[in-house]
Structure 1
Amino acid sequence: MRKIVLSSAVSVTLVAATLAATQTASSADPTSTAAPAAAAGGAAVRTAGEYVVVYDEGTTDAAARAAIAAAGGTVVSSNESVGYAFVRTESEQFAAAAAAAPGLLGAAANRRIGTSPDGADEADDAVERLTATVADAADGAVLQSSRGKGPKGPGAEPLADLQWDMAAIDATAEGSHAVQPGSDKVSVGIIDTGVDGSHPDLAPNFDAETSRNFVTDLPEIDGPCEVETCVDPADVDEGGHGTHVAGTVAAAVNGLGIAGVAPEVNLVNLRAGQDSGYFFLQPTLDAITYAADSGVDVVNMSFYVDPWLFNCQANPADSPEEQAEQRVTVAAVQRAIDYARDNGVLPVGAAGNAATDLGAPGVDASSPNFPVDEEGNPVGARERTIDNSTCLSVPAESAGVVTVTSTGPSGRKAYYSNYGTEQADVAAPGGDAYDTPNGRVDVTAQILSTYPENVLAAEGAIDENGEPTTPSVVREVAEDGTSAYYRYLQGTSMAAPHAAGVAALIVSEYGENDPAHPGTLTLDPSLTEALLLGTAEDVACPVPAEFTYRRVTAAGETVTTATCAGPADVNGFYGQGVVNAVDAVTAF
């Protein structure tokens, strides 16, 4: 659920010292009233003097704008329905003035969401990519391969035997696809680094008309802009993470590559992540609220809000200004989530990849992870003791989000996955490269999904002839010469889209005509959530409840533990169970 510096939108840091590498979970040209300023040509370049200001409940947009002006700010755009504004200011006292202004809840600096600081330890960061570097570190051994363990029955796609994850939740040609493959009247929004709408396995389901990019590339962090305006088209992914997520949700059944959980639903790109993997608060809010206004039924959110791993109400290790910023961030995201659910959207989010019990998180030593120095190291990070009752990982712990933990091929909770009796709603396959009998690396124990050719080429993961240079990449060439690429990744970022896909199947099966968006279906998010959780297959805690993980690489052996709590029908590892596509669409 984080980014990779090689590419993606998930700042994916690879598996630490011996697993050197890369890892998520924004935008230009929205046209909805949720982001009126961006409609004129994309989000503005972000500076140190930019803030998201949240209104007090009941404050009108006009009154809030007046208060912002009095505090020394200039409104760039605002969203009266949710109650926030994007503001620029030259005043160093603006945040304090906004917090004290009548009608305003406060201001949060418009910083990134979803990235990990360079050099961070694997225990603190998401592990979402296993590249050739990792395979080499493990003596190149791919043991107990899961190849051939996926479904390969009649009607299955060519790479279906590599999709153990779909077999695990019965989202196969002979399973849920035979009952309900999804409806093109249902849409899933991918809030991520973008979606490659030209990928041959995504193009049949890609909704270019509804898709939006809420991000302007910033050369100082993203590198040279690909287009003159620095605003990428809404069908581009320069990171890779969002395209991978999209394929798990809805790769088409077209005789090529793989099939997604819901292979006939619409995919909507709601880009909120920079090429570099940074996710700023304002584009993320705009993406969530645009989803609500545009008739999207489910959104996948494989990210968390930076610069704070945990946003706390009043942590004594933080300054008063930092405390206020975190409170505003929690409130702003919650407002957007509430608005989305009130308008027919079910938000699905990743639990995170720090192997942490979110009910007892302990010490956070990585926050704030932005700003950074010239070497990319966070300048303000320090140890903070995290109080579970007043600190939240956002949006995973935001109310109304279906939070998903990750499992490996054996069904165990993935070693990196966060968990918690209060936080885990359901579990889904997210991959675990060490889920093997001897704890050695197996690339195919991760999740295979769609990936952009341009990103692979930029990373050197394919050569000049288009052939993969790493076992984590698979190339598929159809009889007509069409070439498509797929990549193995692991993380709760990969687990969440499995749940989002099942939610889309539920809306497809039980939804009703949406009068607000003619020609589409809708279902109350509370009903979608109830069916998603209620049809998940119960998985009891392991015995003993303290589960031991063994990871073996060329550098040595690592042993860690995680303790599961709760009964079989609802516990910290699996929530209310592992999602099941067939059960979800045959509940009645």
Structure 2
Amino acid sequence: MKKPIFRRAGIASACAIAIGITAFAGSPVSAATGDDTGEREFVVLFAEGTSAAAAQAAVQAAGGTIVSQNTDVGVATVSTTDAGFAAAAADQSVIEGTAQNRVIADVPDTHKATGEAVKEDAAEADLKADANVKASAGAGAGANAKGKGSAPTADPLAPLQWDMKAIGATADGSYKYEKGKGIVVGILDTGVDGSHPDIAPNFDAARSRNFTHDIPFDANGDEIDGPCEEDPDGSCDDPANVDEDGHGTHVASTIASPLNGIGIAGVAPEATIVNLRAGQDSGYFFLQPSIDALTYAGKIGVDVVNMSYYVDPWLFNCANHPADSPEDQQEQRTIVTAMQRALDYARHRGVTLVSAAGNGASDYTKVISDSSSPDFADVPGEIAYTRDLLDPASCTSMPSEGRGVISVSSTGPSSRKAYYSDYGNGYIDVAAPGGDVYDTPAGTRDYSAGILAAYPKVVAEAEGAIDADGNVVVPWALKSCDASGATCAYYQYLQGTSMASPHAAGVAALIVGKYGVRDFLRGGDYLPAEITQARLEQSAVDTACPVPAAFTYTRTLPSGAVVTATHTCEGSKGSNGFYGKGIVNALKAIGR
């Protein structure tokens, strides 16, 4: 989850490690307005059952104008120049709460040029337990690999997919019995590269949507998404088949890369991928796009969604923490309520909700600290501050702690809980491979212990992973071509709970494919989310806490520094804080 939970996209707290939602919220349905005009945007939550007319009247009475409205869950984005809007809105009986969208400065035309994506330095990522730590190909893996036949039983890079072997998703495992054909998986992330050769065969462009608006710079003038190069008109609205971060593409690939003689195969290699983009290029995930993506998923018959992020700007939304102002407390309550409505809307329509647990190496069931919130500029000079003694009873990370959401922790090649993965008895539902580059006998870094999946060529170029001739020049990326050599694609190693969650989402897709019934209304198959989750948990492989339960991780960083941390696992073999109900298993899930 930055954060794509955890890289900005990844996870930060939940995803790859930074990204919080943001990547694991606030944001823009339209480009946020400039500070100098005095204009502000708010996400407004209405009482359930409020009519569109009553909502409009209440907003107008409070001094605002509705920019866009999601009537399915009673939420609207509102623009106002009235400094007292929030207070006035609180006096309206049909308005339950407001959350201010962080203000973004206007972007001069001179900045609308091609930008470059920049990845965090690998050493720095190690120190932060980033979900986007790169992994090398490992012994025996070449930087370029070719397929060996037109009808492969396994794709060329399958030998490097220890993660698929760990859950029985292989050519001689679950692929023989169930591939998820016709099951629709929505990717709520930074986007999906629909042109990637190992995604395109399963990509549904017609139903894909981009619910975000690129934000070039924040109110402090710092780059967020960078210049808007995709759209000649400078609208900052990327097409729905674009991923300029790479996080969403990696996630989608793990779920449903096809068996096609190139690269890798996903857990459900015949499932349909729908891009429901809710994250910025930078990995921030804001409230309104997340809500809109979830309700859209419920309407079009999506079977499973993967959410490897947390909603910005608060990693933990606290109802009444004394360090927060009354306004911020109210905002956080609004975020939780609005997101829960959207989650409920989708789940009640058959959408199984899967989320990364986070990469903060923390027990979510214990008193905790948060030094990363708010993580998006509101006014020039705003910075995050430390909130100590957060009570888990009144502080909620969304969506991973939402009702009805399957929270997934991360494991390494040895099946131990990954050193960065968040945990907690009662918080974690299941575990899945997410990579742990320090899961080695000596605790030294082995990049092949990461998760290998698709890498957008445009991002690889921007990050310097390939040269002008298209050859890989870094140890954490690979190139794979089909048997003819005419079609090639790129792959990268990442680690994080952002990478664990899609394994669970893929297994959920297999469950719907195996046990679902024909959906004559929306097409495809249908299985109630409650049944899908129950089967996912029941079929997971029980994994006991380590002995002793207080497990100490030892990592030797590239600098030579040795880092240790102790995490305590609570619970029984069948249900505990490290693995939940167990490690997901594709074969067992489909009754094999």
Do these two structures clear the TM 0.5 threshold for a shared fold by scoring above it? yes
Q: In 2, Cα distance between the equivalents of 1:586 and 1:283?
A: 37
Alignment of 1:124-143 (within 5 A): 127-131=130-134
Residue 322 of structure 2 corresponds to residue 325 of structure 1: no
Q: In 1, Cα distance between the equivalents of 2:73 and 2:4?
A: 32
Please state how far the C-alpha of 1:125 moved relative to its aligned partner. 5.7
Q: In 1, Cα distance between the equivalents of 2:419 and 2:567?
A: 8
Residue deviations 1:312-357 (CA, integer Å, cap 9, x gap): 0111110000000000000010000000011110110000000000
Please state how far the C-alpha of 1:275 moved relative to its aligned partner. 1.3
Name the structure 2 match of 1:32: none
Match among 452, 475, 479 for residue 448 of structure 1: 452
Superposed CA RMSD: 3.1
Residue 420 of structure 2 corresponds to residue 423 of structure 1: no
Name the structure 2 match of 1:30: none
Name the structure 1 match of 2:214: 217
Match among 243, 256, 262 for residue 250 of structure 1: 256
Residue 218 of structure 1: SS of its match in structure 2? coil
Residue 87 of structure 1: SS of its match in structure 2? strand
What amino acid is aligned across from residue 2 of structure 1 in structure 2? K
Residue 321 of structure 2 corresponds to residue 315 of structure 1: yes
Unaligned runs of 5+ in 2: 34-38, 104-118, 218-223
Contact 2:152/2:259 (<8 A) preserved: no
Name the structure 1 match of 2:365: 359
Gap change, CA 1:10 and 1:111, over 3 Å in 2 = farther
What amino acid is aligned across from residue 207 of structure 1 in structure 2? D
Match among 58, 66, 71 for residue 75 of structure 1: 66
Residue deviations 1:189-208 (CA, integer Å, cap 9, x gap): 00000000011010110000
Please state how far the C-alpha of 1:5 moved relative to its aligned partner. 13
Alignment of 1:142-157 (within 5 A): 155-157=153-155
Please state how far the C-alpha of 1:95 moved relative to its aligned partner. 1.7
What amino acid is aligned across from residue 575 of structure 2 in structure 1? V
Gap change, CA 1:489 and 1:25, over 3 Å in 2 = farther
Name the structure 1 match of 2:306: 300
Moved more, 355-364 or 197-206: 355-364
Residue 44 of structure 2: SS of its match in structure 1? strand
Residue 99 of structure 2 corresponds to residue 108 of structure 1: yes
Name the structure 1 match of 2:534: 530
Contact 2:72/2:295 (<8 A) preserved: no
Gap change, CA 1:351 and 1:11, over 3 Å in 2 = closer
What amino acid is aligned across from residue 92 of structure 2 in structure 1? A
Contact 1:145/1:445 (<8 A) preserved: no
Contact 2:4/2:309 (<8 A) preserved: no
Unaligned runs of 5+ in 1: 27-37, 136-140
Gap change, CA 1:373 and 1:117, over 3 Å in 2 = farther
Match among 194, 197, 200 for residue 203 of structure 1: 200
Moved more, 382-391 or 407-416: 382-391
What amino acid is aligned across from residue 207 of structure 2 in structure 1? T
Moved more, 498-507 or 479-488: 479-488
Name the structure 1 match of 2:112: none
* Aligned-pair identity (%): 54
Contact 1:313/1:323 (<8 A) preserved: yes
Residue 457 of structure 1: SS of its match in structure 2? helix
Name the structure 2 match of 1:45: 31
Q: In 2, Cα distance between the equivalents of 1:162 and 1:551?
A: 23
Please state how far the C-alpha of 1:462 moved relative to its aligned partner. 1.2
Please state how far the C-alpha of 1:80 moved relative to its aligned partner. 1.8
Q: In 2, Cα distance between the equivalents of 1:46 and 1:283?
A: 13
What amino acid is aligned across from residue 90 of structure 2 in structure 1? A
Contact 2:407/2:429 (<8 A) preserved: yes
Name the structure 2 match of 1:387: 391
Match among 507, 512, 533 for residue 502 of structure 1: 507
Residue deviations 1:471-530 (CA, integer Å, cap 9, x gap): 11011122332110000000000000000000000111111111331x311111111111
Residue 244 of structure 2: SS of its match in structure 1? coil
Name the structure 1 match of 2:110: none
What amino acid is aligned across from residue 575 of structure 1 in structure 2? G
Match among 75, 88, 104 for residue 84 of structure 1: 75
Q: In 2, Cα distance between the equivalents of 1:25 and 1:563?
A: 26
Q: In 2, Cα distance between the equivalents of 1:393 and 1:99?
A: 24
TM-score, normalised to structure 1, is 0.88
Residue 516 of structure 2 corresponds to residue 484 of structure 1: no
Contact 1:145/1:444 (<8 A) preserved: no
Moved more, 545-554 or 379-388: 379-388
What amino acid is aligned across from residue 407 of structure 1 in structure 2? T
Q: In 1, Cα distance between the equivalents of 2:264 and 2:473?
A: 21
Name the structure 1 match of 2:184: 187
Contact 2:371/2:384 (<8 A) preserved: no
Residue deviations 1:37-73 (CA, integer Å, cap 9, x gap): x9xxx93112361111111123222212211111111
Please state how far the C-alpha of 1:380 moved relative to its aligned partner. 4.1
Match among 566, 574, 579 for residue 574 of structure 1: 579
Gap change, CA 1:562 and 1:121, over 3 Å in 2 = farther
Q: In 2, Cα distance between the equivalents of 1:117 and 1:426?
A: 29
Contact 2:318/2:394 (<8 A) preserved: yes
Q: In 2, Cα distance between the equivalents of 1:51 and 1:372?
A: 12
Residue deviations 1:406-460 (CA, integer Å, cap 9, x gap): 0000000000000011210000000000000000011110000011000010111
Moved more, 494-503 or 305-314: 305-314
What amino acid is aligned across from residue 224 of structure 1 in structure 2? P
Name the structure 2 match of 1:274: 280
Residue 550 of structure 2 corresponds to residue 546 of structure 1: yes
Residue deviations 1:192-247 (CA, integer Å, cap 9, x gap): 00000011010110000100011122222221112123211111110100000000
Contact 1:73/1:91 (<8 A) preserved: yes
Name the structure 2 match of 1:35: none
Residue deviations 1:242-281 (CA, integer Å, cap 9, x gap): 0000000000000111000000010000011111222221
Please state how far the C-alpha of 1:365 moved relative to its aligned partner. 1.9
Q: In 1, Cα distance between the equivalents of 2:429 and 2:142?
A: 27
Name the structure 2 match of 1:162: 160
TM-score, normalised to structure 2, is 0.87
Contact 1:433/1:441 (<8 A) preserved: yes
Contact 1:353/1:418 (<8 A) preserved: yes
Q: In 2, Cα distance between the equivalents of 1:7 and 1:569?
A: 31
Please state how far the C-alpha of 1:465 moved relative to its aligned partner. 1.4
Please state how far the C-alpha of 1:167 moved relative to its aligned partner. 0.5
Moved more, 247-256 or 469-478: 469-478
Q: In 2, Cα distance between the equivalents of 1:118 and 1:447?
A: 18
Residue 66 of structure 1: SS of its match in structure 2? helix
Name the structure 2 match of 1:2: 2
Name the structure 2 match of 1:511: 516
Residue 176 of structure 2 corresponds to residue 178 of structure 1: yes
Contact 1:251/1:260 (<8 A) preserved: yes
Q: Which has the higher contact order (CA 8 A, sep 6+)?
A: 2
Residue 219 of structure 1: SS of its match in structure 2? coil
Name the structure 1 match of 2:106: none
